[in-house]
Amino acid sequence: DTAVSQTPKYLVTQMGNDKSIKCEQNLGHDTMYWYKQDSKKFLKIMFSYNNKELIINETVPNRFSPKSPDKAHLNLHINSLELGDSAVYFCASSNSGTGSSGNTIYFGEGSWLTVV
């Protein structure tokens, strides 16, 4: 039972192409995220959606566009890919409700994007 699943796991593509990464969670959470992890392992938030509404939009080029068709899915579309976009992209989810677990975030396995 995969809680947060994302596809594809590996993606190699040429500069200038447009690509999408899909994410689905079966945890019943109402909040989903995209994080980017660079080559130095630094994990940084890009976007977050709560019940399909964008709530966090960090300083990210507008070539990156998230879309949440429902609260169990959050996709990431990237236009005009650049060499610097090469990284691991992690989808994650959490519950916004209060409680002892706070906003504990659960991550997917990652999508390794290489732009050549």
Partner 1 sequence: QKEVEQDPGPLSVPEGAIVSLNCTYSNSAFQYFMWYRQYSRKGPELLMYTYSSGNKEDGRFTAQVDKSSKYISLFIRDSQPSDSATYLCAIGGSNYKLTFGKGTLLTVNP
Closer residue to partner 1, CB minimum distance, 18 or 93: 93
Q: Residue 44 CB, nearest distance to partner 1 (Å)?
A: 7
Q: Encoding tokens for residue 14?
A: 């040429």
Q: Residue 47 CB, nearest distance to partner 1 (Å)?
A: 11
Which has the closest alpha carbon to 14: 73, 86, 62, 100?
86
Closer residue to partner 1, CB minimum distance, 45 or 72: 45
Placement of tokens 């200038």 in the chain: 16
Other CB atoms within a 10 A radius of the CB of residue 108 amount to: 25
Q: How many CA atoms lie within 13 A of 12 on its CB side?
A: 1
* Footprint of partner 1 (CB under 8 A): 4, 31, 33, 40-45, 48, 50, 55-56, 90, 94, 96, 100-110, 112
d(CA 50, CA 71): 7
Closer residue to partner 1, CB minimum distance, 80 or 95: 95
Q: Residue 110 CB, nearest distance to partner 1 (Å)?
A: 5
